[in-house]
Amino acid sequence: MNIAIIPARGGSKRIKNKNIKLFCGKPIIYYSINAAKKSKIFNRIIVSTDSIKIKKISEKFGAEVPFIRPSSLSDDFTNTIDVLRHASKFFFNEYKKKFNICCIYPTAPLLEVSDLINSYKKFSSKKFSFLFSASKFSYPVQRGFYINKKNYIQMINKKNYKKRSQDLKNIYHDAGQFYWATNESWDKKKQVFDNKSAIHLIPKLRVQDIDTLEDWNDAEKLYKLKNEKKNKI
C-alpha cells in the first residue's frame, strides 16, 4: 500500500498563504495533488494541515483530509519527520500493517508524474531507508568559499583551489520535492540522509526552492519554460 502525504500548514511567514497561493493560475498545492493522482500509484492522497481553508481547497482538487493536524505540530519549529510520524501513526491505527509513505511537498509545481513512478520503482526494488529527490550542484562546491568576519573571502578547503573540476566528485543536494519511506522508517524518526538512503535524480532546470517571492517568480518562469518545451514536442 502506498499513501501520499502532503504536509501543508497554514501559518507560513515569508510568503503569506504560501501553500495555497496562486501559482500560474492555480493554488500551488494543486500541482502536488494532481501529480500524485496522475501517477496512479497511491491508494490514498492525504493532506496534513492545521488549516480549514487548506483542507477545503485540497479536497476540491481530490485529496483527502481525514484529520486536522494539531497546533503543536504546526509551528515554525516543527520538522517534516514529526509531521510524517504523526500521519504514519494515524494510518497504522487504521490498517495495522506495514505500508509505504511518500511525503510530497505542497510547493513542488515542477514535479513530474514520471518522477513519482520511477522513484517508486527504485524504492520498491531494494531495501532503502529513504529515497528522495535530489539534484547535482552545477558548480564544484569543494572550491566554494564564504565571507569571514573581516569581509574577506575564505575558502572551505584551500587544497581544492588548483584541482580540476573533473577531478572532484559530483556533489548533490536535496531537491525538496518528495521522500519515500516505509511507515516504520518515519516512525523511528531516522535521518533522511543516512547510509541506507538513495536518490532519484532531478535535472537542475526542474528544481527550485521556494522560500522568497523572488524564488516564487523564478519557479513560475521555470514552470512556463517546461510547459513550452512539452508543447513543442
For residue 90, what is its C-alpha cell? 494515524
Confidence check: pLDDT of 125 > 70: yes
Structure confidence at residue 11 as a pLDDT band (50, 70, 90) = confident
- Computed over every residue of the chain, the mean pLDDT equals 93
For residue 35, what is its C-alpha cell? 501529480
For the chain, percent helix, then strand, then coil, each to nearest 5? 40, 20, 40
Q: pLDDT over 90 for what percent of the chain?
A: 76
pLDDT for the residue numbered 232: 66
pLDDT for the residue numbered 75: 86
CA distance 190 to 193: 9
Confidence check: pLDDT of 4 > 80: yes
CA distance 23 to 116: 21
- Over the stretch 135-170, which tens digit does the pLDDT of each residue have? 999 888 998 999 999 999 999 998 888 888 888 999
Which range scores top for mean pLDDT: 39-48, 147-156, 187-196?
A: 39-48
Domain boundaries of the chain, sorted by first residue: 2-232
For 37, half-sphere exposure in the C-beta direction (CA atoms, 13 angstrom radius) is 13
pLDDT for the residue numbered 40: 98
> For residue 29, which amino acid is it?
I
Q: Say if CB 59 and CB 29 are below 8 A apart.
A: no
- The stretch 216-227 carries a mean pLDDT of 93
Confidence check: pLDDT of 61 > 80: yes
Superfamily of segment(s) 2-232: Spore Coat Polysaccharide Biosynthesis Protein SpsA; Chain A (3.90.550.10)
For residue 26, what is its C-alpha cell? 492555480
> For residue 124, which amino acid is it?
S
pLDDT for the residue numbered 162: 84
**Residue found by looking up cell 494541515 in the block:** 49
- The stretch 68-82 carries a mean pLDDT of 89
CA distance 76 to 10: 11
Confidence check: pLDDT of 233 > 70: no
